[in-house]
Copies of this chain bind each other. A is one copy, B any other.
Amino acid sequence: MTETGGGPVRSSAVEELDRQIVDLLMADGRMSYTDLGKATGLSTSAVHQRVRRLEQRGVIRGYAAIVDAEAVGLSLTAFISVKPFDPSAPDDIPERLADVPEIEACHSVAGDENYILKVRVSTPIELEHLLARVRTLAGVSTRTTVVLSTPYESRPPRI
């Protein structure tokens, strides 16, 4: 092991105990180190060390409250597929859109379009304005799929 820091480790194997810890923290991000220790058979400080290491390695990128978007006024979710007007131009689309707060996620994809954006706004008019901003900022054409309802979301993966 010569990797001692200076960038996220991408292809690291996560061993069994780390896997358990990550699994538990994905299901309950506020679980205490004491409870994590009980669940894994480790001491509190051993768990703490492992969690800190997982955070430093970038395996755990952070923690978040999962919030009902409607309850905070973001009633409209949509997926926007984008394709550059000029396919020969250098692709800096993610960077150009990075500061648009309505964009929750940006995925580069295989298929007809180049990127899929997941966005949240309050109203259809805001979506209209957002689409105009995206087209202008990134130099893209858009195809938008409006979400009608979300049976489930943010389910922790079984790893």
Contacts and interface: CB of A to CB of B under 8 A. Distances in A.
A2 interface: no
Nearest to A77: B107
Contacts of A146: 109-111
A68 interface: yes
Contacts of A145: 109-111, 116
A89 interface: no
Contacts of A41: none
Interface string A87-130: 00000001000100111111111110000100010000000000
Give the one of A27, A58, A98, A107 with max B CB within 10 A.
Answer: A107
Contact of A68 (B8, B27, B74): B8
A9 B158 CA distance: 29
B155 A72 contact: no
Contacts of A109: 79, 145-148
A12 to B, nearest CB: 6
Nearest to A79: B116
Nearest to A74: B157
Interface string A1-26: 00000001111101000010010011
